[in-house]
């Protein structure tokens, strides 16, 4: 049981380049999330999808777009990368938004923008 | 003031010691509380949910104090493998939408 799978694990981009971070879960979860983690800032929500077919902005959506391709997959796109987007990105999923079972996270993508 | 605040530590404790962390939250309407564990360069993993009456899972005890708006995590008989960062998580409900707010974490180092 893979849980939440993120690709790639590492990426270096030049300023202005674009890329898509992929996330897939095999737990039949309804809700999926994208977070970024920076030193001293904690995990901050970028975008989330409460259920298939819906997406909403989180705390720090600027510079990002998302696609909930189907129930399993939720991708995050950086259209024009900036050094401020250097971070560790985590995808997560849960059976529903309000849950006592918490989230399951992917192993993360370490992105450096130079 | 941050919505969820934790002492960043590090807490350096010898093996076998008991250690406790607190986490304060500012939104009195929060209803769900969790402790996550995050190892260096790894993803966060759910350690335990925190229930109103307090709950225990082996060497770990979580407590909630709604009046003072804090949750705590107690680790008894610390093991070297407990060394990690412990994240406090609180939910926020806005217009019927639930979001989880993560603290920045408390670092624990258990020393041999």
> Min CA distance, B44 vs chain A (Å)?
7
* pLDDT tens digit sequence for A27-83: 999 999 999 999 888 899 999 998 899 999 999 999 999 999 999 999 999 999 999
Put simply, whether A78 touches B (Cβ < 8 Å) is no
Q: pLDDT (tens digit, 0 to 9) for every residue of chain B, 112 residues total?
A: 788 999 999 999 999 999 999 999 998 888 889 999 999 999 999 999 998 888 999 999 999 999 999 999 999 999 999 999 999 999 877 766 778 899 999 999 999 9
Q: Where is B65: in which H helix or E strand?
A: strand B60-65
Q: Do B97 and A97 touch (CB under 8 A)?
A: yes
Q: Do B104 and A102 touch (CB under 8 A)?
A: no
Taking contacts as CB-CB distances below 8 angstroms, the residues of chain B near A54 are: none
Strands B60-65 and B84-94, bridge-based pairing? unpaired
Q: Do B49 and A106 touch (CB under 8 A)?
A: no
Give the separation between CA B4 and CA B89, rounded to whole angstroms.
Answer: 8
Of B34, B49, B104, the CB nearest to A41: B104
Taking contacts as CB-CB distances below 8 angstroms, the residues of chain B near A3 are: none
């Amino acid at each position: 049981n893979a849980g939440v799978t993120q690709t790639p694990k590492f990426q270096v981009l030049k300023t202005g380049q674009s890329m898509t971070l992929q996330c897939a879960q095999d737990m039949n979860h309804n809700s999926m999330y994208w977070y970024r983690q920076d030193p001293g800032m904690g995990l901050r929500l970028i975008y989330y999808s409460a259920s298939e077919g819906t997406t909403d902005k989180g705390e720090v959506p600027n510079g990002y777009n998302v696609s909930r391709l189907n129930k399993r997959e939720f991708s995050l796109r950086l259209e024009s990368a900036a050094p401020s987007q250097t971070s560790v990105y985590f995808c997560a999923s849960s059976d529903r938004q309000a849950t006592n079972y918490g989230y399951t996270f992917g192993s993360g993508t370490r992105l450096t923008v130079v | 003031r941050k919505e969820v605040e934790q002492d960043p530590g590090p807490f350096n404790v010898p093996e076998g010691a008991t250690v406790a962390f607190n986490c304060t939250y500012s939104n009195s309407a929060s209803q769900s509380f969790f402790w996550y564990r995050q190892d260096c360069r790894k993803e966060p993993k759910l350690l335990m949910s925190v229930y109103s009456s307090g709950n225990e899972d082996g060497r770990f005890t979580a407590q909630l104090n709604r009046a003072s708006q804090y949750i705590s995590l107690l680790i008894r008989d610390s093991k070297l493998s407990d060394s990690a960062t412990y994240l406090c998580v609180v939910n926020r409900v806005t217009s019927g939408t639930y979001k989880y707010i993560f603290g920045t974490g408390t670092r624990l180092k258990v020393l041999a």
